[in-house]
Structure 1
Amino acid sequence: MVRFLDHLRELSASFDVLLCDVWGVIHNGVAAFPEPCEALARFRAGGGTVVLITNAPRPAASVEQQLRRLHIGSDVYDAIATSGDVTRHFIADHAGKAAFHLGPPRDQPLFDDLDVAFAAEAGEADYIICTGLFDDETETPETYRALLEDARARNLAMVCANPDLVVERGHKLIYCAGALAELYRTLGGDVTFGGKPHAPIYEQALAQAAERRGAPVARERVLAIGDSVRTDLAGANNFGVACLFVSAGIHASEVGARDNPDAAALRTLFSQASRPPLGVTRKLRW
């Protein structure tokens, strides 16, 4: 049975910490969503702690700049955990190695203050750092098949700084680094992932929450919020925390009308996961 929840306040007394997804939940890359932002701010005002947990392939400071451009204020969250920050630890552990950056120039903050030598071509690299497509408006993963086949022939490892397959930009779905990483895996390539659904980003987020609260946080008092079965729901399940699923996100077209999702379609969607979410909300609101 799918449990629909219209208001975050129905769950607020049961949780101290929210680990909230960003793209598709509080903004779409073009505009902020006022009601979800208000809901998070109201949760914080009641003593709760909010850590934004995102597969953005950039450091938290860079993500915060984007939030400011979208007029999302600091009253909405306490801290930010990013796939980019997790990836930076990998890069630091491979200092001096030649890396081929597969991704757009906007992701350059990922490398700030790190000892990384860049290879002009994949064939000259020791490994690949994938943050996305060079042009995600016009290209698809198939654009990169030949490059990835050559990298696989050279046994190059890849670190994927954004495990998302797609993300909403406005009302359009665009490919992310995860789509390239999955193609590389089908070719037999070795891929390390930096963000959700893998444990390191959740461990970082929980540590940030504990620091803000001044005490360790029990996982049963943590609620993850997100719109992706593959990353948000799977990540919450793997980490042992509850999940509130936002249906009006990247899966909206699979589950019926954006404002009125079909329960049977949701059950089919959740069958991909080890267990269903605690509840489903069409859009996060207080």
Structure 2
Amino acid sequence: MTQIIDNFAAIADQYDVAFVDLWGCMHNGITAFPDAVNAMQAFRAGGGKVVLVTNSPRPWESVARQIFDMGVPEDCWDAIATSGDSARAAMFRGIVGEKIYFMGESPRDDDFLQPLRIIDNPVNIQPVPLTEAEGIVCCGPFDPLADPAVNRPDFLYAKQKGLKLLCANPDIVVDRGEVREWCAGALAALYTEMGGESLYFGKPHPPIYDLARRRMEKLDDLPEDPRIIAIGDGVHTDVLGGVQEQIDVLFITGGLAATETQTKDQPDPVALQAFLHKAQTTATYAIGFLR
């Protein structure tokens, strides 16, 4: 049974490291959540470490600048692991070829194609039209408000050519303020449904957790076997990913699942359990909003 808690401080002393989602937990796509910022500052003040683990398709430095502008200060986190970093490493190793059809919003997603110096002998990535491509790299839809089905003609052509799709953000949707937008995960799911092959590098898949642990291991003053908790609002990404990694999970119900869990300040216990049962997963703890 998932335990509903009043605040993170109630369980913070049980953990050394928090793997914290960003969108829906620390900010709403426009501005920071002050209570969440305060909670992570307090956790760090007590000796805890915060690794922001995000399905953003951007490099971590870009994410750091973005969240700072939203009001998430540098003193509430220690490291950042992004789906974008994990996916970029795979791209520059040639997982979908050198000539790629790039999907994303320009100029927001242009950083994804910047050279990655940590890869030995990276391939020469060349964005080309779909008709010339060896693979697809998807940071997101060209229009996040358009139904993913608008991509069916291109995806049918790509599938017939046997192109693989590298998905840099497995999220299906996000809420930017009050507006729900489609993410790369929705396009990858459509491509898979149509018979194409999609490759994932963000939550809930193992590569981003491997990256998060490597970033964690570079931090000072950690015990040999740190106790980790995953915090997030995505049941199929943050919660499932934590469960699969065999780490405890704090489910933030007031984000993507606010309606399903009947969250105003806190989730309704019956609605919460019904939602997790339907999702075929569980969480160690739940709270309406990170605080």
- Counterpart for residue 119 of structure 2: none
Partner AA of 1:109 in structure 2: D
Deviations, residues 235-262 of structure 1 (Å, cap 9, x unaligned) = 0011111000000001111122432422
CA contact (8 A) 2:55 2:83 kept: yes
Structure 2 counterparts to residues 144-159 of structure 1, below 5 A: 144-159=151-166
For residues 62 and 127 of structure 2, what CA distance do their matches in structure 1 show?
A: 21
Q: Structure 1 residues 192 and 249, CA, compared in 2 at 3 Å: closer, same or farther?
A: same
Match of residue 118, structure 1, among 127, 132, 138: 127
Partner AA of 1:129 in structure 2: V
Partner AA of 1:85 in structure 2: D
Deviations, residues 170-198 of structure 1 (Å, cap 9, x unaligned) = 02211100000000000111111010001
Deviations, residues 73-117 of structure 1 (Å, cap 9, x unaligned) = 111100000000001111111187100001111111011115311
- Counterpart for residue 108 of structure 1: 110
- Counterpart for residue 120 of structure 2: none
Partner AA of 1:251 in structure 2: A
- Counterpart for residue 249 of structure 1: 255
- Counterpart for residue 69 of structure 2: 69
1:181 is paired with a residue whose SS is helix
2:3 is paired with a residue whose SS is coil
TM-score (norm 2): 0.93
2:156 is paired with a residue whose SS is helix
TM-score (norm 1): 0.94
Partner AA of 1:91 in structure 2: M
Match of residue 178, structure 2, among 165, 171, 184: 171
Shift of 1:16: 0.1
Shift of 1:213: 2.9
For residues 78 and 271 of structure 1, what CA distance do their matches in structure 2 show?
A: 34
CA contact (8 A) 2:25 2:290 kept: yes
Partner AA of 1:266 in structure 2: L
Cα RMSD over matched residues?
1.5
CA contact (8 A) 1:52 1:77 kept: yes
Task: Report how many aligned residue pairs link the two structures.
Answer: 282
Structure 2 counterparts to residues 234-245 of structure 1, below 5 A: 234-245=240-251
Partner AA of 1:160 in structure 2: C
- Counterpart for residue 239 of structure 2: 233
2:254 is paired with a residue whose SS is coil
Partner AA of 2:136 in structure 1: I
Shift of 1:267: 1.1
Shift of 1:210: 1.9
- Which structure 2 residue ranges, 5 or more long, are not aligned? 117-123
Q: Structure 1 residues 273 and 16, CA, compared in 2 at 3 Å: closer, same or farther?
A: farther
Match of residue 211, structure 1, among 215, 218, 226: 218
- Counterpart for residue 136 of structure 1: 144
Partner AA of 1:117 in structure 2: Q
Deviations, residues 15-74 of structure 1 (Å, cap 9, x unaligned) = 000000000001011111000011001000110000000000010001011011112111
- Which structure 1 residue ranges, 5 or more long, are not aligned? none
1:224 is paired with a residue whose SS is strand
Match of residue 200, structure 1, among 192, 195, 207: 207
CA contact (8 A) 2:99 2:133 kept: yes
For residues 278 and 87 of structure 2, what CA distance do their matches in structure 1 show?
A: 27
- Does residue 81 (structure 1) correspond to residue 81 (structure 2)? The answer is yes
Q: Structure 1 residues 236 and 171, CA, compared in 2 at 3 Å: closer, same or farther?
A: same
- Counterpart for residue 265 of structure 2: 259
